[in-house]
């Protein structure tokens, strides 16, 4: 007869291993000449999600009956040499169990929806490979017991997100938006990697239990000084801002709507967009250690919420409007985390993810819904207008309208002051190199130059 | 079994491709040359594997009627150690897969004799312990790419200028380093030697020969010339054991600047080959950065990155080459829409490209973690530089993926799908990359032992060098 701990460990390991196995099967199949049928892919995805959901429910059940609120599962030492250890450790606590259950419920619903929605689409298999990558990444990031494992999951979510935005790849716009998102995610990843390494060197470990103590979430306490908390926390905040589209990275969220509806729902309505908030919740003892950082988190959250409200108010397509509506709530959740209201933030996050998933999945039916409503009312629906609109002077309203339409000029700012100077500098280096090569060759142009000239 | 292991497989691994290159040279029949090439590359791989088994099991060699190395050099010049053990089969395998993935239409451009000759020289370089022989092998290593350029009637001036500089500095540098009475010139001789090897590695601003080689040579031959990073091996054997700290630190800075510069350049390139060259250069420089920080973790990271780099960037180059074989020279100024023609090539491109930038689950992930960690122990700013460089490389890889594989479907009148031989090559590389990513411990442990031995050797000769104390993680 297995003990409670053995059951929890077995089921907990399954929760992490099944999505990885699904990814390995679908990933390797994509290199083989014959691909599995739609039916097989759908069946594999749904059965693995159900198995994971049941396993995580078993873990939850055992935790509730045994009274344990913090279960750490050491899968093993991934890398172990003197002065360097990378351990694979999963943690089941109030935060991770809630998030991982949310992941499986929503991935199950959306996976099932996608089998119908993408039926006979030529990218069906590709969608489910990336969906498996996303699910594995979410589970790894949610259950991570140390920052390295969290980073691994974090990157997997980022890649799947960028590639799914470019799902409709016959048109140039989706790949362009996918690349834009990938660039923001790489900034976010770099910040998280920096935080991971900084954490190692400041506290001697990347293990959350070591840094925050083995006390159940949310009662942990960090053993870092305010300055250290501020430093590592700032890097984590940049990482969270990139992933959750907080200011100044918010511009990528409406761009992500180029992807198919199921991926928009799962990424930008439900799970991925909340991963930054999840990171802040996980690292919340660092916020307690640094009041300045907490203030910055509140300010960033509120600014993002206001920005998203203004930008979302002038959207004319439903998916963009929903994405900004999501962002308003994410901003508020982040502000709640900064204020130390962790349970409220968690409940807000869970509720918001479920509501937004339903809204995104209903989005393609919006016109149909409107027609039904208008037919029932016998008149056209009037656009909503608040009292604030009547009180504001018209010039300011116009400015706000422009601000909203241009999405707060955030993208223009980043392009003008970061992207364009960077590209121009390296393009000038490139031109210089070509001239240098031509000089060394005795004014004979290179194949590259010739092919570029031919293209012109 | 013991009897088989007693055969000098290492010597055979150099001699077989060398003799084979002469044989194949004389063949006029392409299909016959292809069969011979395949056999020779496969046998060389087998020889390296058997030599490693023999080395691992400690089997003593039978008394041969004449010992090849003793008769030629009067000592054992070529042997295995912790550093080169995993590199030999990795390089032999990469040669075999490159050859296997060469399409029939490109066989005329791909020089099999030079590839065999190059394999022989590179294996000898990696296992050579005698400094003057190593210097000689490094100089001979310049010949195959030069031969390919000459055979294709392409301009050789840039390559010759750089390699002439390399040869001069290398010979001069080692000549002075080897003189015990000229101790007052010692640091400067090391600097000269190091400059030679940095030219060979393509460090800024002496990287022009790399872009030129990829521009003018056949993609396959250029890939085989540079992927094994024999310049790094020479730095480990010749420079690290004797270089003072300040020399290593200054070169570390130059390498980091090169890595960042090349990563930035890769993001703005308009030509796929040039893009690959800069991605390659950035990674090769990262390997050097770790070496020159000279901490056990950074050197372990570098050595592991080197190994994963051969598989990942090698595979990445092979995918680009496979695409070029189908549609010609690829520009990065428009969307090519090649995904529908060959999804497997797209997956391979993405997998090998992301593995090279340290994506989780691939061999490069742990290597990059080790490198960043080791770098931050030595100098936090170097760690930040590596993180930024890796981020830029990731952006460059995905940008190239989108430009090559997405967009309106490429119009083609012939099938552009992946061939069976290419599929074998890419599946092999993918399995190795993911396998080494999921189970990295054996590789990392072996690399750590090699790093310790490199640093111990340095400690004996440069006693002032003390390793930065490290935290227990």
Query: What single DSSP character describes residue B179?
Result: -
User: Is B249:B292 a contact under the CB 8 Å cutoff?
Assistant: yes
Domain residue ranges of chain A, discontinuous segments joined by +: 4-364, 412-455
Judge: A427–B268 Cβ closer than 8 Å, yes or no: yes
Does one domain contain both B114 and B261?
Answer: no
Q: What is the mean pLDDT of residues A201-216?
A: 77
Q: Is the dihedral of CA A180, A185, A188, A189 positive or negative?
A: negative
Name the strand (E) or helix (H) holding A91. Answer: strand A84-93
Q: Residue A385 pLDDT > 80, yes or no?
A: no
Q: What is the pLDDT of residues A36-88, one digit of tens each?
A: 999 999 999 999 999 999 999 999 998 888 888 888 888 888 888 888 888 88
Does the residue B305 lie in any domain? yes
CB atoms within 10 A of CB A365: 11
Does the residue B179 lie in any domain? no
Does one domain contain both B448 and B299?
Answer: yes
Show residues of chain B in contact with A34, CB under 8 Å. none
How far is it, in rounded angstroms, from Cα B190 to Cα B179?
12
Tell me the ipTM for this assembly: 0.91
Judge: B337–A170 Cβ closer than 8 Å, yes or no: yes
Which residue of A182, A186, A201 is in closest CB contact with B376? Answer: A201
The bridge status of strand A70-81 relative to strand A84-93 is: antiparallel
**B81 Rama class: left (phi>0) / alpha (psi -120 to 50) / beta:** beta
User: Is B17:B45 a contact under the CB 8 Å cutoff?
Assistant: no
**Rounded mean pLDDT of chain A?**
88
- Measured in degrees and rounded to the nearest 5, phi and psi for residue B93 equal -65, -40
Structure tokens at A347: 């409940």
Q: What does the pLDDT read at residue B122?
A: 93
How far is it, in rounded angstroms, from Cα A287 to Cα A277?
13
User: Is B405:B349 a contact under the CB 8 Å cutoff?
Assistant: yes
How far is it, in rounded angstroms, from Cα B122 to Cα A280?
50
Q: What does the pLDDT read at residue B250?
A: 81
Show residues of chain A in contact with B426, CB under 8 Å. 31
How far is it, in rounded angstroms, from Cα B35 to Cα B53?
27
Q: What is the pLDDT of residues A356-374, one digit of tens each?
A: 998 888 888 888 888 888 8
Show residues of chain A in contact with B472, CB under 8 Å. 83, 204
Structure tokens at A134: 């996303």
Structure tokens at A200: 């190692």
Does the residue B222 lie in any domain? no
Closest chain A C-alpha to B98 CA, distance in angstroms: 18
Judge: B402–A200 Cβ closer than 8 Å, yes or no: no
Which residue of B337, B365, B373 is in closest CB contact with A200? Answer: B373
How far is it, in rounded angstroms, from Cα B292 to Cα B294?
5
Structure tokens at B151: 């055979």
Q: What is the pLDDT of residues A306-331, one digit of tens each?
A: 999 999 988 888 888 899 999 999 99
Which residue of A152, A204, A447 is in closest CB contact with B216? Answer: A447
Show residues of chain A in contact with B261, CB under 8 Å. 429
Judge: A82–B296 Cβ closer than 8 Å, yes or no: yes
Print the SS3 string covering B15-70: HHHHHHHHHHHCCCCHHHHHHHHHHHHHHHHHHHHHHHHHHHHCCCCCCCCCCHHH
pLDDT tens, residue order, chain B (473 aa):
556 767 788 888 889 999 999 988 888 788 888 899 999 999 999 999 998 888 877 665 555 545 666 667 677 788 888 888 889 999 999 999 999 988 777 777 788 899 999 999 999 999 998 889 999 999 999 999 999 888 888 888 999 999 999 999 999 988 888 876 655 556 788 888 889 999 999 998 889 999 999 988 888 889 999 998 899 889 888 888 888 888 888 888 899 999 999 999 999 999 999 999 999 999 999 998 988 887 888 889 999 999 998 999 999 999 999 999 888 889 999 999 999 888 899 999 999 999 999 898 898 899 998 898 888 878 888 888 999 999 999 999 999 999 999 988 877 777 788 888 999 999 999 999 999 988 999 889 988 998 888 888 777 766 554 444 333 33
Torsion of CA B399, B401, B403, B407, to 10 degrees: -130
Q: Residue A14 pLDDT > 80, yes or no?
A: yes
Instruction: State which residues form the domain around B323.
Output: 243-473
Q: What does the pLDDT read at residue A337?
A: 95
**Chain B 140-179, CB below 8 Å of chain A: which residues?**
155, 157-158, 161
Does the residue B390 lie in any domain? yes
Nearest CA in chain A to B472: A83
CB pairs under 8 A between A and B: 188
Structure tokens at B246: 């300040």
Tokens 């935060």 sit on residue: A95
Classify each residue of B293-307 as buried b or exposed e, where b means 16 or more C-beta atoms within 10 Å of its C-beta: bbbbbbbbbbbbbbb
Q: Is the dihedral of CA A381, A382, A388, A389 positive or negative?
A: positive
How far is it, in rounded angstroms, from Cα A173 to Cα B402?
11
Which of B86, B114, B129 finishes a domain?
Answer: B129
Residue A214, preceding peptide bond in cis (omega within 30° of 0): no
How far is it, in rounded angstroms, from Cα B237 to Cα B242?
9
Of A330, A234, A212, residue with least CA distance to A278: A330
Does one domain contain both B295 and B434?
Answer: yes
Show residues of chain B in contact with A183, CB under 8 Å. 395
Q: What does the pLDDT read at residue A390?
A: 76
Nearest CA in chain A to B265: A426
Show residues of chain A in contact with B296, CB under 8 Å. 82-83
User: Is B140:B163 a contact under the CB 8 Å cutoff?
Assistant: no
How far is it, in rounded angstroms, from Cα A130 to Cα A156?
9
Q: What is the pLDDT of residues A86-117, one digit of tens each?
A: 888 899 988 999 999 999 999 999 999 999 99
Q: What does the pLDDT read at residue A311?
A: 92
Surface-to-core class of residue A331, CB atoms within 10 Å of its CB (0-12 exposed, 13-18 middle, 19+ buried): buried
Which residue of B215, B377, B406 is in closest CB contact with A175? Answer: B406
- Measured in degrees and rounded to the nearest 5, phi and psi for residue B464 equal -65, -25
Torsion of CA B424, B426, B428, B432, to 10 degrees: 180
CB atoms within 10 A of CB A367: 10
How far is it, in rounded angstroms, from Cα B264 to Cα B287?
17
How far is it, in rounded angstroms, from Cα B454 to Cα B235?
11
Classify each residue of A209-224 as buried b or exposed e, where b means 16 or more C-beta atoms within 10 Å of its C-beta: bbbbeeebbbebebeb
Structure tokens at A323: 């994405």
Which of B129, B144, B175 finishes a domain?
Answer: B129
Which of B129, B162, B191 finishes a domain?
Answer: B129
How far is it, in rounded angstroms, from Cα B269 to Cα B281?
14
Torsion of CA B9, B13, B17, B20, to 10 degrees: 0
Closest chain A C-alpha to B64 CA, distance in angstroms: 40
Judge: A451–B366 Cβ closer than 8 Å, yes or no: no
Beta-bridge partners for B271 = B331
Give the mutation candidate from B406, B407, B468 for the A interface (greatest A CB count, under 10 A): B406
Residue B137, preceding peptide bond in cis (omega within 30° of 0): no
Closest chain B C-alpha to A14 CA, distance in angstroms: 17
Surface-to-core class of residue A57, CB atoms within 10 Å of its CB (0-12 exposed, 13-18 middle, 19+ buried): middle
User: Is B258:B204 a contact under the CB 8 Å cutoff?
Assistant: yes
Q: What does the pLDDT read at residue A317?
A: 85
Q: Residue A178 pLDDT > 90, yes or no?
A: yes
Show residues of chain A in contact with B212, CB under 8 Å. 437, 441, 446
The count of domains in chain B is 2
Show residues of chain A in contact with B411, CB under 8 Å. none
Of A163, A227, A148, residue with least CA distance to A195: A148
Does the residue B190 lie in any domain? no
């Amino acid at each position: 007869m297995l003990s409670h701990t053995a059951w929890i460990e077995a089921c907990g390991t399954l929760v992490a291993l099944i999505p990885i196995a699904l990814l390995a099967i679908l990933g390797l199949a994509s290199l083989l000449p014959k691909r599995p049928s739609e039916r097989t892919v759908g069946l594999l995805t749904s059965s693995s999600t159900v198995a994971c959901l049941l396993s995580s429910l078993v873990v939850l059940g055992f935790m509730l009956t045994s009274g344990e609120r913090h279960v750490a599962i050491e899968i093993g030492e991934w890398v172990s040499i003197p002065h360097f250890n990378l351990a694979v450790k999963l943690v089941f606590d109030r935060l991770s169990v809630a998030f991982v259950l949310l992941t499986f419920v929503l991935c199950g619903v959306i996976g099932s929806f996608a089998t119908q929605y993408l039926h006979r689409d030529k990218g069906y298999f590709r969608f489910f490979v990336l969906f498996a990558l996303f699910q594995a990444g979410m589970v790894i990031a949610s259950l991570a017991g140390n920052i390295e494992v969290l980073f691994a999951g974090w990157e997997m979510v980022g890649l799947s997100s960028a590639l799914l935005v470019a799902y409709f790849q016959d048109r140039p716009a989706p790949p362009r938006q996918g690349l834009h998102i990938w660039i923001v995610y790489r900034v976010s990843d770099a910040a998280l990697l920096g935080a991971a390494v900084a954490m190692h060197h400041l506290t001697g470990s990347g293990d959350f239990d070591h840094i925050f103590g083995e006390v159940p979430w949310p009662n942990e306490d960090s053993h870092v000084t305010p300055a250290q908390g501020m430093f590592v926390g700032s890097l984590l905040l940049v990482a969270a801002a990139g992933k959750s589209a907080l200011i100044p990275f918010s511009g990528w969220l409406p761009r992500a709507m180029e992807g198919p509806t199921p991926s928009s729902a799962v990424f930008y309505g439900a799970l991925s967009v909340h991963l930054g908030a999840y990171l802040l919740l996980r690292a919340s003892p660092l916020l307690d250690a640094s009041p300045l950082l907490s203030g910055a988190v509140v300010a960033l959250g509120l600014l993002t919420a206001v920005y998203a409200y203004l930008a979302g108010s002038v959207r004319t397509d439903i998916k963009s409007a929903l994405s900004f509506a999501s962002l308003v709530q994410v901003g508020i959740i982040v502000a709640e985390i900064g204020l130390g209201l962790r349970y409220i933030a968690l409940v807000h996050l869970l509720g918001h993810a479920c509501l937004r998933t339903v809204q995104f999945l209903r989005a393609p039916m919006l016109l149909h819904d409107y027609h039904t409503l208008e037919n029932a009312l016998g008149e056209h629906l009037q656009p909503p207008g608040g009292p604030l609109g009547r009180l504001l002077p018209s010039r300011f309203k116009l400015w706000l309208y422009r601000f909203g339409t241009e999405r707060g000029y955030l993208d223009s700012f980043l392009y003008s002051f970061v992207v364009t100077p960077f590209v121009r500098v390296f393009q000038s280096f490139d031109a210089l190199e070509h001239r240098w090569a031509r000089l060394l060759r005795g004014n004979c142009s290179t194949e590259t130059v010739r092919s570029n000239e031919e293209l012109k | 079994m013991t009897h088989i292991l007693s055969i000098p497989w290492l010597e055979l691994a150099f001699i077989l491709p060398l003799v084979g290159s002469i044989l194949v040279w004389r063949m006029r029949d392409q299909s016959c040359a292809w069969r011979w090439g395949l056999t020779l590359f496969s046998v060389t791989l087998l020889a390296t594997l058997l030599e490693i088994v023999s080395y691992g099991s400690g089997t003593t060699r039978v008394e041969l009627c004449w010992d090849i190395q003793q008769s030629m050099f009067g000592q054992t010049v070529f042997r295995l150690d912790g550093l080169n053990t995993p590199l030999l089969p990795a390089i032999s395998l990469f040669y075999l897969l490159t050859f296997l993935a060469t399409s029939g239409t490109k066989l005329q451009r791909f020089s099999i004799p030079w590839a065999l000759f190059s394999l022989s020289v590179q294996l000898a370089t990696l296992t050579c312990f005698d400094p003057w022989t190593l210097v000689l092998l490094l100089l001979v290593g310049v010949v195959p790419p030069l031969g390919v350029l000459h055979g294709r009637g392409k301009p050789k001036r840039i390559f010759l200028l750089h390699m002439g500089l390399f040869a001069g500095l290398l010979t001069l540098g080692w000549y002075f380093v080897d003189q015990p009475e000229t101790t007052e010139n010692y640091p400067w001789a090391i600097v000269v030697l190091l400059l030679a090897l940095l030219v060979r590695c393509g460090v800024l601003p002496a990287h022009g020969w790399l872009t030129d080689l990829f521009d003018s040579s056949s993609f396959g031959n250029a890939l085989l010339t540079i992927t094994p990073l024999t310049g790094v091996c020479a730095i480990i054997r010749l420079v690290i054991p004797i270089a003072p700290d300040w020399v290593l630190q200054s070169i570390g800075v130059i390498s980091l600047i090169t890595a960042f510069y090349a990563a930035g350049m890769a993001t703005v390139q308009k030509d796929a080959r040039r893009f690959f060259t800069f991605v390659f250069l950035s990674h090769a420089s990262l390997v050097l950065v770790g070496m020159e920080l000279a901490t056990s973790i950074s050197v372990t990271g570098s050595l592991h990155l080197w190994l994963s780099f051969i598989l990942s960037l090698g595979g990445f180059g092979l995918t680009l080459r496979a695409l070029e074989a189908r549609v010609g020279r690829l520009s990065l100024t428009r969307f090519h829409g090649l995904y529908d023609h060959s999804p497997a090539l797209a997956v391979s491109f993405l997998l090998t490209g992301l593995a090279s930038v340290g994506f989780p689950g691939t061999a490069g992930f742990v290597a990059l973690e080790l490198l960043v960690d080791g770098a931050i122990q030595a100098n936090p700013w170097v760690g930040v530089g590596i993180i930024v460089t890796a981020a830029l490389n990731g952006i460059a890889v995905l940008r190239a993926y989108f430009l090559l594989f997405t967009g309106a479907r490429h119009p083609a009148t012939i099938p552009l799908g992946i061939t069976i031989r290419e599929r074998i090559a890419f599946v092999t590389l993918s399995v190795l990359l993911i396998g080494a990513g999921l189970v990295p411990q054996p590789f990392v442990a072996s690399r750590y032992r090699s790093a310790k031995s490199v640093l111990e050797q340095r400690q004996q000769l440069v006693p002032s060098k003390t390793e930065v104390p490290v935290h227990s993680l």
